[in-house]
Amino acid sequence: MNAKERIMYVLNQQQPDRMPCFGANSTVTYDQMEKVQAFWPDAHFDGEAMAKQALAAHTVLGFDAVRVPFCQTFEAEALGCELKPGGTEGIPGIEPRPPYTIDDTPEFPDDFLTRGRIPELLKAVRILKEEVGDEVPIIGGIQGGFSIAAHLLETVFLLKATLRAPEKLPAFIEVGEKAGTMLGQALLDAGADIISCEDMSSSPALLTPQSYQELVLEYQQRQFAALSVPKILHICGKVDSIVEWMGQTGADILSLEPKANSRIAREKCGPNVVLMGGADSATTLYFKSPADIKAECEALIADGIQILAPGCAVAPGTPLENLLTLTEVARAH
């Protein structure tokens, strides 16, 4: 099977030739940059460098998909947030100077898709499509509405408002959802095959399960209903308390960190949702040995993981041999 066939077999509840392996989040590292001679910050701003760097996930790591972009700032920047450059070693972030206050009415710009670095992101997808065709899926990364709202209002303020003034938040979450959805549709038009939605700020580590159900779920459902391709939902941390609702969003794949219990996810979400996950990115993949990585991945597979992946975004200093170990484990299953 080629990579795309392998992933589609899993999505269709069929048995592939082996377990797929790829990242729902960024998998870029300094070692890969050297291999393909594409570096930061260029690959955050230039479509050609971005595509070259993304392709390394397949050509260097042997992963079954390639993914752009490598940060979580494209929508927020286009909505008026101030970008904080990441330099040669880090990823861009958003400055904690939000463009709105809680009493403002957020606006969605008519020229959203031409703003900031979005045109270069779409250019990267078109280049990738020319390179991989229908052999290797292209994953387009977007942000969930709640996480974009966190940039529009500043994360800590938003989280406090979920308790003190929740009635004022839907307008901001709606603008965020519209931004992520519009970008997702544009990524599909450019050639993406799968959409991966990161909604980090809705993690139970930050947000109560009740607030997730009341403020986030509806907008995730709306977003996924508008995107007619396989969808991945990634929420950081131990999501056991909200995973049942995650399974109701319309996501085809739930990307789980090792902190989450995949057996609970299967019980709560039923047999049709595909579970994706793997070694902890911040500890096991970054610090430990290939033997430790194998042991952690084997345990997760035994618990029901169907697509092997880094648990979250990969630290750029992660050793190349550690990521190659993921591919090795997947090929053994």
Residue 331: pLDDT band with limits 50, 70, 90 = very high
Angstrom distances, CA of residue 186 to CA of 123, 218, 233, 248:
11, 22, 18, 24
The pLDDT tens digits for 194-220 are: 999 999 999 999 999 999 999 999 999
Average pLDDT over every residue of 132-141:
98
Which of 53, 51, 55 is CA-nearest to residue 30? 53
> In terms of residue numbers, what domain contains 185?
3-331
Q: What is the CATH classification number for the domain harbouring 141?
A: 3.20.20.210
Q: What is the CA radius of gyration of the chain?
A: 19
Nearest to 229 by CA among 213, 252, 207, 248: 252
Instruction: Supply the DSSP symbol for 226.
Output: T
What pLDDT, on the 0 to 100 scale, is given for residue 170? 98
Q: How confident is the model at residue 25 (pLDDT cuts 50, 70, 90)?
A: very high
Count of the separate structural domains present in the chain: 1
Task: Classify each residue of 27-40 as buried b or exposed e, where b means 16 or more C-beta atoms within 10 Å of its C-beta.
Answer: bbbbbbbeebebeb
Q: What's the confidence (pLDDT) of residue 44?
A: 98
Q: How far apart are CA 84 and CA 73, in angstroms?
A: 9
Q: What is the pTM of this model?
A: 0.98
Indicate if the alpha-carbon torsion angle 67, 69, 72, 77 is positive or negative.
Answer: negative
